[in-house]
Amino acid sequence: LQDGRIIAGGGGVCGPCNANHPDAEILTPPYLLDNLGNPKPRPIIVDAPANIDRGVGFVVTMNSSGPHTFALVRLSASTHAVNNDLRRIPMTATRNGSSFSMAVDANPNISLPGVYFLFAMNGDGVPSIAKTVTIE
């Protein structure tokens, strides 16, 4: 999910059979919470482009100049209860204050066109709320 939580959906809706699971569950991973179960502070993506091209640099502005790592996560698409192409693409970023320069891998076998979540993770590995970007 865009907020870093994970949704696992049911499947197998096939009439009256016992394999039906028209339900879903949302998991809040431990890295989003402190020892008392409260939400940890998150980095904030202040600005990011909505559309990016493979192999072309772009800049992401954060709310702080601390160390961050970045990753693109392809939005899920399922048919017949099978996710055909969920992927995470780690990004290499260069920091200049609170601005981070990076580029999507030029290889079309890695960076498929489509819609992705762009996450920034702080030094503790806590993800931001994702920005939605499209690889052209």
CA dihedral (58, 93, 29, 76) positive or negative: positive
Q: What stretch of H or E contains 29?
A: none
Q: How far apart are CA 120 and CA 1, in angstroms?
A: 14
CA distance 76 to 73: 9
- Of 75, 78, 74, 76, give the one whose Cα is nearest residue 90: 74
Q: Residue 33's beta-bridge partner residues?
A: 39
Q: Which two tokens stand for residue 62?
A: 């954060």
Task: Tell me which H or E stretch contains 103.
Answer: strand 99-103
Instruction: Write the pLDDT tens digit of every residue in 10-64.
Output: 776 677 777 777 788 999 999 999 999 999 999 999 999 999 999 999 999 999 9
With a CB cutoff of 8 Å and minimum separation 6, the contacts of 5 are 26, 27, 28, 29, 32
pTM: 0.88
What confidence tier does 8 reach under pLDDT thresholds 50, 70, 90? confident
Per-residue DSSP letter, 33: B
Cα–Cα distance for residue pair 86/130, rounded to 1 Å: 16
What pLDDT is stored for residue 82 in this prediction? Answer: 65
Nearest to 3 by CA among 114, 88, 119: 119
Q: Which amino acid is at 8?
A: A
